[in-house]
Each structure stands twice: as structure tokens, then as C-alpha cells.
Structure 1
């Protein structure tokens, strides 16, 4: 009640100290000037500059301080700016502006003010950082969170007006391959001058009007004194308090920027569960492929290297990254990065599983302990060569190597017996990827692109299972022994070469024709060997029982396609039709299979632009996917202590329709943002695993079924600025309907989920940052049985500056899970920190605590086609740390 009372008093007081002025910006024919900049400059000290952007009707709204005299200036490209003086005690609440054209077409407009807070161009938003920063921010992330329409999630992902940033640039150059987390959590806030958000981004300037890129790029412009300067910071921390867990933290982020050479070095080591990059960043780093051929799947598994992970009992990570770019001449630039990551985690989980078997249920209590050691190294180099303004060459080469060593112990107790399994796995993976791109614009009507992409993957996992009794009876040919040791060696080599030639023909400003000719060729070689090592030294090879695979695989996809893009008024449409010739061949066990198909694949992309800040987009594609080598391997393969898998050599292609409708609106006058997406996916022919279940033992094999699978999804959010607060409503609904065959009986399954969330936070830089949110989720499953659960999540956070140099942060989350028997479990976690740093001092001191309540476990529910689980996960204990940072 006290918080609410203080809130109401503070709000009432704030309202009494402000005044609002509205109006319309138009030309001398009364045509509204959308996106005109309206800037109110205070003509006295201790008052802040205010700004607004006119909406599609030319309307603007300014929230001004009372008893302050303002100079209000309106500017618009190719128009003469107009100035209006608002006196301190004036009773004016509305004022319209009519701008006169200069008669010249200008690329940009120069005004007498030092900066514009926001500039909106056709595909670009430009934020002036000092308009939004308080001055106490440490990292880029804290700046971005204050920009209207910009959000940063806990994994470092950035979205702008609901669209995800896919490319991160600094001074126009890719920052560590374009990953966002490394940028937002390491670039110092005081180095930032402007943030540019570029939609439909393309690295090649003359390709922008024809490439139809869906990328959203964020370009960081540095302050002038940072453009030839070494800057960054270092930090070191150690555990304090009575506990002796040996927690530590060390971090360094150093940057050198000059007109021709940029160097970035990031290093990190800690054992508090903090990772330096996300899986999205890793897939970008490890992609090594041209964006024109992004459909190729990567077989390398890098999940263990990414994302904060405190849901473990131990987590040690070491990370190093080096990024460099140098312009040798105006025509040639070379850039490269290297990544090193080493992670050690220890985990512990307890779970209760119910295995559904048509007419019976098997129960299992499982205790699992894991020790995982992973190491990753990536080296990447890129050459950018521009012989002239109308031609561009790229070469990109990457080498990647990783190891993954796992020791896993499972204690499984069922209604029939108790068994102990130990798994020791070791995987060595190597990858080499490279591509060449050539782009040339012959004239204003004709442009061509040629891309050749090559990728090689060599994965060699080795698995060993140890147990004290027989397992998977009837599924694996075990021989009687005192103890049981089963070993598996798997080798997968994959090589692909993809090529694409594309011609862009611009008939006029409203009609384009794009022609495509390409070929994708891939080969794979899969070898597996499963055997039992007996205590007397002999070997029981499982080959006699139908195990062990040796498969050679080739898939060639040759295609031609044509796309026609036309524009009528605000409506842009691009239908396309592709003809693919697929040839799939496999050889295994002296038996060969081949498949040849010619398939038409239509697609359609439609855009409707209501105005510059309101758009509607629809996309549709018909696709065909062919099976991978493991799905075609027709011999048995041991995959887990309770799972045997066998591929199907007769699989053909699955076929599916995908469609998406996206609506986006951003209106600064109304202070609202809308973003909604509806998606639809229907598989006419689908790969689906048939399951045979006996107790907890499973046998799985894929089939191509004609039973359709349908997925619907709706997600969206709405934000509203209410005076100096921001309200956000987000929703997500999903429905998945499919058929599942279990023990020779096929059932229709439905999985549905609904999620609604509300967040309320302050949006005024003179106030403390405070937010509170509530999220309600529902999940349902119906098939062999019906199951459901609910989640209630309450979140809050605050950041307060006090006594000039002190900053206090706190965040809290409370999560409640409830199953269909009204059984609930709870989990809440709080983190807090207090920091001291004088304004002009390079030294900063921070004390923080993670997991304030010292929770030992967290709980959750889940379900699949035939398993319902309740899981308890052991987490890192309370962490008390004291750190010292030094800013260069």
C-alpha cells in the first residue's frame, strides 16, 4: 500500500508540473508531412529538450515542463523549417505548422540545433543517444532499453518495433560476425553517439532496391573522440561473505577504432553461470555461409556453449574473442574474427515420468547427474573487394573445431526394477566453410549475383554405456555377463557445394523481374558400430542383430525460378514460381536406392504500406524437404539407455505449405506500437516417428505419413505510452495437430498453448527505472490421454540512482507451475547489486548477489507424445561478489 500511495503522489505531482501542446504539420496545400521532426528547445537552464515525430496525419504531441520558455522548431526534408516561440506562461495548447517547399530535392537537411533526437527515413531510424541517456549507463544494453520501440531480452537479443535485429554493425562494419549479445553487453555506453536501425539491410548498396532483404541491422555510430581511440573496460570480482564456493569473475572488453583499422578484444572467465554469447550468436559465427543460400542446414551442435546457465550445480567458463578489420585501400577491406570457448558444467536433476502405452502406464523415477566439458574454436576471415562502384566481390572462409566430453549417470527406478547407467561420451567435430559472392550492376536496369558456397563437416562421437544389469531386452543382442559395457562409434562426414546465379531486371520503378538458376549438391557418409565388451575380453558385435550402419548419401537439387515484383499505389506484390529437379541416392548394405522428382514450388510475398509507420506483410511458400542420411539408415542404432532407433531407406520427401501474416504500426503521436504475427504451417506429407513402447523401453522408426500436420500460431504485442509510463501487453497462442502411431495404434494429438503478459514500467529518464510484470500461461495436450498445466510468473525490476555516485539494481521473479491435479510448485529468485563510481573516475566498485534467497532447486512440468514429466533441477547457490572495474 505504501508503494501505491507513493506512486500516486508522485504521479499527481508530476502531472501538475507539465503541460501538453498538440498540432498538425503540413505543407502549404494542407497535405500532412509524415515523420516531420518537432523539437522543443528550452530557453533556460535546468530544463530538458523535448521532441516528437509527426504521424501519418501530420499530428504531433509535446509534453513540456511548466513555466519554461521553449523554441519549437519543425523540419522536414526539402522544406524550410519553421520556428515557434512558446512563452513560459502562455496558455497555448495547440499550434499548427505549415512548411514551405524549398524547391530542391535534398538528401538530408541541416538544422541549427546540435542534434535531432529521432530521425525517420524510409528504411532507417536514427536515435541520438544523448537524448535518451541519463549519463550513468555502463553498457550499450542500458542505452538501448531506453530507446522507444527498442527491447533487449535477457540473452542479448535486440528487437525494434517487434522485429529482431539480425546484423550488428559498428561504424558500418560487422561486429564479430554481426552478433548482438557481444555488442550490447560489451560496448561502453559513453562511446555511443547515434544508433541507426536499418530495415531491409544489404551490405551491397546498389543491391538494396532489388535484393528484398528481410534483415534488420543496427549500426552503432561512435563519438568523434572514440573514432581513433582505445577504449573499453576491465573487471575482476571475487566471492565475499561466509560461504566458500570459490566464485570469481574476470572480464575485459577493449576496443581500438581508427579510420582504417578496427580491433576488438573480449575476454571472460567466471564460474557463476554467466555466458558471453547466445546460441543465435553462435549460429551466426558458425554459419560461414552466404545469406543468399541460408537454407542449408548446419549439423554442428553448439548448444552447450551458449546462454547463461545457472540451472546447474557447477559452471565454469572461459571465453576469448578477437575481431579485426582493416581497409588496405578504398577497394579492398579485410576482416576476421576468432572465438575460443571452454565450458565445464555439472548438473543434477530428478524427474518423475509417466510413459503412456495405449492401455497401460509405466512409471519411472529418474535421478541424473552430468559432467560436461566442451571446447570450441572458430577462425573466420572475410575479404571485401570493390573494383568500382558498380561491382562487389566477397570471399569468406571459416574453420571450426569443437570437442564435447560428457559423463552422465542415470539411476532409473521403475515398477519392475532399479538400474544404474553410466554414459561416457566424447565427440570431436571439425568444420570448414567458405563462399564467394559476386555482384555487378551493369546499368539502372540490370544487376546480377553469383554465389558459390562450400561446406565440410566431420563429426566423430564415441559413446560408452556401463550398467550392472541387462537393458533394452529384445531390442539389443546383449550376452549374459557380470556387468555390461556397450560402446558405439559414429562417423558422419558431410560435404556440400551450392551455387546460385540471379539476374535482376528493373523494367521501371514499379515492375521488376528476377530470374534464378541454381544447384545444391550434398554428400554424406554415415558409419556406426555398436558392440558389447565382455569382461573376459571378447567382443559381441551387434551387427548380427541388425545393428551397424554404413550409408553413402547424395542429394542433388537443380532449380530454375522466376519472380515478378510489381507495385500499385501502396501495394507491392512478388509472386514466384520455382521448378526443382531432385535426385536422391543412397547405398547401404550392398543395396542401392534412388529417387528422382520434378516439383513445382510457388511462393508469394505481398506488402501493403498504409504509411511510413504502418505496414502489412503476407508471405507464402510451398516447400519440399528430403530426409537426412540418419533417417535413411536402415540398420538399428542405440541412442540412449532406453531408446533404439532405425531409419527407413524408403523415405521420400515431405511437403508443406507455410504462410505468415505480419502487421506493424508505430505512432509516436499516440504513443503506441502494434505488432502482430499470424503463422500457418500444414504438412501434407510429413516425417513422423512410429514408437513401440514396452515399459520405459522405446523403439523408434520414421515413416512418411499422409496424415496432415497443422500448426497455427498467433503472437503479438501492444505498447502504449501513458504520460511518463509505458504499458506493454503481449500474447502468444499456438496449436499443433498431428497423428502419432504408438504400439501400432494411431491417434490424433493436439498440443495447444496460450500466453498473455502485461508489463508496466517508467519511461522518463529523470525518474528511477521501475517495471512490474505478470504473465499467465496455459498448456494442453490431448492424445492417448489428456494433460494440462498452468504457469503464473510475476516479475519486477528497479534501478535507482542516489547520493550522486551510487546506483542500486534489483530484479525479482516468482514462478508458479500447476498441473491438472491442482498440484503446484513454486520458484522465486532475486538478484541485486549496488555500484559506486564517481563521474570522472575510471574506477567503479560493485557488490552483487545472485539468488538472494539461496534456492537449491527449481521445478517444472512437461509432456510429449507419450511421456508426462515433473522435473526438479538443482541450481547454483547464492553468489555474493565484490567486483572492481577500470574504464580506459
Structure 2
């Protein structure tokens, strides 16, 4: 089948649409073979029992088990097969389960259950039926994996995609009912720092027993009632036969067929779990552009900061290590990761991870740019070829000490080192001529972070937390530019030469110490009072130097011509706060009042600039729980943000071949309001899931760059302004299960309005974007897995000029099991960009594979084709305040791979 597709240059997406219609019509025939059985579950006083489990077990063979979960009105709905007898069991904690026998010849289509209380202590209840497809508790969802899997899944990701309300995107980020999973656990222990991608793409599907989703997660049990954590955790429970044994898989593959690109892949994932010791190892080497983890995972690895301290930014730049990058000409990556945890005693445990990553990439990007100033329009065609070498090492260790069940200590230490070397050649063509820029960049980064946490519960009313966090970062990029023509004339003091060589060194060194003490007073079940005393201190040093190295070896130092920054920066934030949490029925509120004493001191050029302010920052959190499956939450904050050290550096800095930046030593704090409204509802009876989030942000004091644009050359400097900036965003989704299908509607809307000063003229700019999408999926174990989605996007910019863009995106996936042991997959993506004057470009990508593995046989074999159409480029369009760009990115060619896997 794959070889047949190799002879096809393009798949007409109309054929895909026709195929989906035929599948739907075929499914309507299958619908006639089943019927819907409904009813209500209540107690003997007719009070609905929300989240009761209803299980229909077929009495005869070759029929599948059915289940449902009662909604807030106690209603349930089962989709049963005709001419099949069922034993329908209803269970609810604290109640005696009830059984109803439905005969195969029965015409009954509804039955109500009235459960009676056991009258026993909950701890003494023995649940006879262990099978519970979904268990809904206050903050926890528990999915039984066997209820949703068909046995053909290879990795955890494929299991999660079949759970109701759970989504996994292409980057491995997991969301549950629209909320992002922020902590990944396996058997209750953090998995590689809690990132999701390493888990979902490496843990074997057949090792999973249950998936627990825990909202408002806090790893300190006695803190959960008071911490108000917004973390969403996912805990993986393993099957018993996977414990105390090494399990995992190994795979290796190489390019076959007519290709001579030398593509290969090798991957190993090994796991060992026991009550006291957990060990995981993941290794990967490939040249097909596959990244093992995401930037989100890397930011977690680069965190090393206590979760009780918010707002501390990491200076580590790790983006080069997370490019899941087929958008390159070549990509050779090597990765190794080791994760462990061990209980040294009943009170002390140690855990940690080590990461090593090395990536070598070759890329080519073309840009057609239109620069829009209020005086003239300039055009530039850019062709950039680059080679990048990025190496990263991270080591992290964490100690967990519990002297008692009312006291907890943590120590976490992390060391991180990275090197990023980049060589690029840029050809720039403008109406003034052609220039060639060769760039060599080398950046060495070092980071050391550590924190201590102490939590203690004195009694049922009083709990305290103390945290101290220290972080050190050092970043030293060295940049060299080589060109045949003078550039940025009038902005940099270059001397005439045959060829031009510029050297730049930037050095940023930062050290921060943050401390926080918080007291939690539980007055009663409806009233809590929290007190906070804290201090954040940061010291930074920022140095830059630029010079021209002439052909005769002499040096043209720019330091005496307004370049060369040397600034020492201190920012101290001492604050106290009071939070009052109260409950009125189902409504929980927590207003907070914080007083911050800010002291900023910046020393540069023998000038000492000091800002001292006392600022009031209120906040409000509010949650309303309609029922276990429907919630509404609201948050509001007034915040202040002070400028970073490079924004205060008041000498010139070369940023790029066409950009010079100069800071502003007189900058003070930005002030902004943020508000968030979130609604979530899951109705299991109707098969409906609603998620909606509205974000609002308004800056009343703003730091924004003023821009002077001359042709393609830019000079930027930040200024304080009272011109407000307003940003509104909305994300929403609605999904509906219709018989054995899932239909989902997604929408993403944003509106951004701000003032921009360009060439001394201030304009009001507006950026709007709207994306609306529809996804149709099959949701039945015995059918092929089919997904077809379409998204329409609109983007517009209004300022000096008006620009409009549209996108049409089609995504589809098909998976079918053939003759029990063969699994065939197709993934197809189509994207069309339409911009002004009805100009457009598009690309479409198709990946396909066939996998063979006999049941209980450890060996598997796969033939796969990536980029079957052998597409050369991907296209995109972008716009900014003064620029419209059409971009073409060269990508990896077609790769035909044969892979052998072995499951331990």
C-alpha cells in the first residue's frame, strides 16, 4: 500500500472528503444495529446520585461491555447492541449496588435505579466490582485504561487521545477539559521534572492500568486545603505485572528505497518501578527531525524554582534544544535522559534526573519583506542558510524529608550548562543592492539554582510555609559579522574597508535570592485567613562591547562613539500580604491585599539612578461549583513590572545586521490589570463537554519601543508612555458524542490595541485574529480510528496600513487494524495562506506507515514514509507594526524508513 502511494504526487483532498462521507454513511447503517438505554440513578429519597457508575456487562460472548457515568441529575445513557442480554450494575460509594438483568428479547429501553445506603463506615466498604470506567471525585478523575483501549496502542499518547475530554497536541502537551496538565507523575512520583512529552511518547501503552487527573494538585498532602494550587496533575498507575520488572522498548531504523540521505533512528525507553525505587532511562539518536521533548519540558527542566514563588523569570535560553524540527535541511540529534527516585527510609527520599542533548541542524529560510514606514516603503528579499550546534546538560536532585505527617522539608538543587554555536550566511537584496552577511555566534550559558521549602501543620487551624530560593545565571554570547558592504550607515561608526568584520560580546550575569513566609489560619470551614511576608532581591550585571576589525589588523572600537554598556542593576521587592478566603454555599472567594516596597538601583557611566516606590496590588480569586462536573472561576490581579537590565542600558547595542538598540535609564514600572474567566462543564449523559476561557489585560503604564525606520534599517529605544494597551483573548471548545462519533468545535479569538511611535508619528494599532475549527472523530473500538479537521483563520492589522490574511488548514488521520496484527496509519496536513490581492500559497504533507507485531511476540516491524509527497518548502505569512513578510522554509526530504522494535 505504501509503495502504491509513492507513485502519487498529490492526494486530492476532495477524495478525502468523499471518503469521510462514505464512512459516515456506512456508520449510519451500523447505528441501526444498536439502541439507547436510559434511566436515572437516585437514593431511596429520590435524590440524584451524581457520578454513579453504570456498567452493562454482556451475558453472551463476542459482545462488548458498555458503561456510563450519571450526570448531576442522576441521568445515564447506554448505547447497547440489539439481541444481546446484559447484566446492568449500578454502584456508588456508600450505597449498596443494584443489578438489573436485561434480556436479549426485551423491549425495555429505560430503567431507574434507587440505591440504599450501606450504613457502614466508608473505610469498611468492599466494592465487589473493581471495574469502574470513570470515577469522578471532587478534584479527581480516574480513567480505567482497559475501558477505552483496543489493544493496538503502542504509547501512552494513543491511550490519552481516547479518553473523554483529554487531548494531546503534536508537541506532547496534554489538556483535560481545556486545562493544561502541569505535572506528570508515574506511581505518584514526578517523571522527569513533571513534563508531559517524555511520558506520553515513551511509556508503553500496555503498561498502563489507570490514569488519574488531579486538579488543584499539591504534593504536600496537608497543604491541599489551603494552598489554592492551580496545578493540574496526571498520575499514571501501572499494571501490577509491570512492577518490580524492567519494561520498555528498543527500536532501530534505517532509510530504505531509492533515497541516499542516510536517515536513521535509534530509540530506547526502559523503566523499573518498585515500592522503594523507580528508575527510567530514555535514549534517542535520529536524523529525521524528531525531538524527544518540547520547549515546555525544557522550561520545566530549566526551572529549579519553588512553585510558591511566582514571577521569577529564568534567563536560560533553551529554545534551540526543543525544535521538533523537520523544518530544516538536516537534523542530527542525540539525547539521553535518566530519572530516578529512591526511598532511603520511611521519612527520607531522594529523586532526580539528568539530561543530555546534542543537536546539529542545517537550515534554509527565504523571506520576502515589505517595510512600511510613514514616509516610504522598502522591500527586501532574504535568503538565509545556517548551521547550528546546540549542546545541553542538566542535572537535578531533590530531597524529600517528612519528620512526621504534619511536617515536610524539600531541598532541590540544579546545575545547567549549554553551548549554542551558529554559523549563517544571509544574502539580502534591496533596491540599494545586494549584501552578504556571514555570522558566527557562540553562546555559553551556566545556571545554578536551589531552594529549600519547609511546611508545618501545627493543628487543624494553623499551618506555615517558609521558602528560600537562590538562582545564578551567566550568559555570554559572542557574535561576529562578516560582510562585503557597509551596513547600518549613520547608526554604527564603521570605517571604510575592503571587507567588514564586526565583533560583539554580550555578558549578562544575574543572581537572585527570594524568601517567603506564609501563615494559613483556618478559622472554620467557611473562613480562612492567610498572611504573607516576603522579599525578592535580584542583582544583575550587563556588559556589551562592539568593535570593527579592519583588514590591516587595526581595531575600530565603538566604545568611544556611544557603544559599550556596563550597568549594574539591583531590584528589591519587599512585600506583605493578607488573603481572606470565605465560602458562601457553593461560592468560594479569596480577595487579597498586597503592599510592595520596590527599590531599584542602576549604576552606569558614573550615573546612579534610583527608584523607590510603595505600591498597592490587590487581587481576587473566585470559584463557583454548580456541581461536580460544572465550574466557573474568575481571577483578577493588579501588577507592576519593572524594566530588565538591558532595557535600562543607555548606550547603543548592535542587535542584528539591520537593527540597533539603545536602552533608557529613566524607565520605571509598567502597571497592568489582568483578569481571567474560565467555565468548564462535562455532561456525561448528553456526551457534551464545554470549555471556555476569557482573558483580559490592560496596561495603564507602558514600556514600548519607539522605532526609527530608514529603508530596512531600524533604531529602537524603549520609552514610558501612558497610552493604554488592551489585550482580549477567548479560547473555547464544544464537543459532542453522537453515537460512535465525537464532534468538536474549537475557537480562538484575540484583539490587541496599542499605540506605536514610528518615525516620530504615533498611530493606534489594532491586531485581531480569529480561528474557528471543526474536528470529526470516530469513537468506537471496533472501527478504524479516523479524524478529520478543518480550521479557518483570519488575521488583520490596522495601523499605518491595513493588512488581512486568511488560512485554511485541513488535518486528517486514519488508523486501521488489518488481520489482527497489521496496523496501517495515514496522517495528512494541508495549509493554504491567502493574503492581500488574493495572492496565496499552500503546502500539504502526508506521512504513512504500516506496523506488524504478533500478540505476545516482542518483535515489531514497521515500514514508514515521512513527507511522502517530497514537499520542499513550507510557507507562512506574518505581519508586525511596520513589516509584512512571506516566509519559505526548506524542510527534510521524503524519508522511507524500515524500523525493528523489541518490547521488553
Task: Tell me how far apart the structure 1 counterparts of residues 517 and 35 of structure 2 sit (CA, whole Å).
Answer: 60
1:634 is matched with: 650
CA shift for structure 1 position 4: 5.4
- Please give the alpha-carbon distance, in whole angstroms, between the structure 2 residues aligned to 1:370 and 1:662: 43
Deviation at 1:635, TM superposition (A): 0.5
Q: CA deviation at 1:821?
A: 1.1
Aligned-partner SS, 1:11: helix
Q: Give the drift of 1:103.
A: 2.6
Aligned to 1:427: 443
What SS does structure 1 have at the residue aligned with 2:647? helix
Given that 1:76 and 1:109 are in contact with CA atoms closer than 8 Å, whether structure 2 keeps it comes out as: no
Which residue number corresponds to residue 3 of structure 2?
none
Which residue number in structure 2 is paired with residue 590 of structure 1?
606
Written as runs of structure 1 = structure 2, the 5 A alignment for 1:319-338 is 319-338=335-354
| Counterpart in the other structure of 2:8 | none
For residues 729 and 565 of structure 2, the distance between their equivalents in structure 1, rounded to whole angstroms, comes to: 39
Q: Which residue of 2 aligns with 1:713?
A: 729
1:582-731 to structure 2, matched below 5 A, reads 582-731=598-747
CA deviation map 1:270-304 (0-9, x unaligned): 01110000011000111001011131001111111
Q: Say whether 1:826 aligns with 2:830.
A: no
Q: CA deviation at 1:65?
A: 1.3
Q: Does 1:353 align with 2:369?
A: yes
Query: Tell me, which stretches of 5 or more residues in structure 2 are unaligned?
Result: 1-14
1-structure distance, mates of 2:352, 2:314: 21
The residue aligned with 1:35 is: 51
Deviations for 1:235-289, whole angstroms, at most 9, x for unmatched residues? 0000001110000000000111111111100000001110000011000111001
CA distance in structure 1 between the partners assigned to 2:552 and 2:640 by the alignment: 51
Aligned length: 888
- Paired residue secondary structure (2:31): helix
Distance 1:534 1:212 in 2: 61
Q: Write the distance in 2 (CA, Å) between the matches of 1:490 and 1:781.
A: 34
Could you say which residue in structure 2 is the equivalent of 1:67? 83
- Which residue is 1:117 aligned to? 133
Larger mean Cα displacement after TM superposition, 103-112 or 71-80:
103-112
- 1:787 partnered with 2:803: yes
Counterpart position of 2:4: none
TM-score with structure 1 setting the length: 0.99
1:189-204 alignment to 2 at 5 Å? Answer: 189-204=205-220
Residue pair 1:26, 1:98 contacting (<8 A) in 2 also: yes
Deviation, 1:114, is 3.6
Instruction: Find out whether 1:872 has 2:880 as its counterpart.
Output: no
TM-score by length of 2: 0.97
What does residue 341 of structure 1 align with? 357
Per-residue deviation, 1:16: 2.2
Shift of 1:109: 5.1
Match of 2:392 among 360, 373, 376: 376
Structure 1 residue aligned with 2:74: 58
Is 1:810 the counterpart of 2:826? The answer is yes
Q: How far apart, in 1, do the equivalents of 2:339 and 2:731 lie?
A: 37
The aligned counterpart of 1:158 is 174
Shift of 1:107: 5.3
Aligned counterpart in structure 1 of residue 255 of structure 2, from 214, 236, 239: 239
Residue-by-residue CA offset, 1:2-21 (whole Å, 9 max, x unaligned): 63564255323322221211
Pick closer, same or farther for the CA change 1:107–1:467 going to 2, 3 Å.
Answer: farther
Question: Which SS does the other structure have where 2:425 is aligned?
Answer: strand
Deviations 1:491-519 (A, max 9, x none): 11000000000011001111111110000
CA distance in 2, matches of 1:8, 1:851: 28
Q: Distance in 1 between matches of 2:846 and 2:652?
A: 48
Structure 1: gaps of 5 or more residues: none
What's 1:742 paired with?
Answer: 758
Specify the alignment match of 2:434 in structure 1.
Answer: 418
Contact 1:182-1:276 at 8 Å conserved across structures: yes
Alignment pair present for 1:293 and 2:309: yes
Q: Deviation digits for residues 539-572 of structure 1, max 9, x if unmatched? A: 1110111000000000000000011010111111
Which position in structure 1 is the counterpart of 2:590? 574
| Alignment correspondent of 1:797 | 813
Partner SS for 2:300? helix
CA distance in structure 2 between the partners assigned to 1:440 and 1:180 by the alignment: 30
Aligned to 2:31: 15
* 1:640-683 C-alpha deviation (Å, 9 max, x unpaired): 00000000000000000000100000011010000001110000
1:737-782 deviations in whole A, cap 9, x for unaligned?
Answer: 0000011111000000000000001001111100111000000001
Q: Supply the distance in 2 between the matched residues of 1:732 and 1:600 (Cα, whole angstroms).
A: 33
Instruction: Give, in whole Å, the separation in 1 of the partners of 2:785 and 2:826.
Output: 10
| 2:333 alignment counterpart | 317
Of the three residues 524, 540, 543, the one matched with 1:508 is 524
Q: Does 1:283 align with 2:280?
A: no
Contact 1:77 1:107 in 2 (8 A): no
Residue 225 of structure 1 is matched in structure 2 by 241
1:391 is aligned to: 407
Checking the alignment, whether the CA contact within 8 Å between 1:774 and 1:793 is kept in structure 2 is: yes
8 Å CA contact 1:276–1:307 kept in 2: the answer is no
Describe the SS at the equivalent of 2:225.
Answer: helix
Cα distance, 1:765–1:430 mapped onto 2, change above 3 Å: same
Tell me the C-alpha RMSD between the 2 structures: 1.0
Q: Partners of 1:334 and 1:28 in 2: how far apart? A: 50
Matched, 1:305 2:293: no
Give the Cα–Cα distance (whole angstroms) in 1 for the partners of residues 125 and 31 of structure 2: 35
The aligned runs of 1:363-512 (5 Å cut-off) are: 363-512=379-528
Q: Is the 8 A contact 1:77 1:108 kept in 2?
A: no
- Contact 1:429–1:458 (CA under 8 A) maintained in structure 2: yes
Residue 612 (structure 1) shift: 0.5
Cα deviation per residue 1:178-221 (whole Å; 9 max; x = unaligned)?
01000000001111111111011000000011100000100000
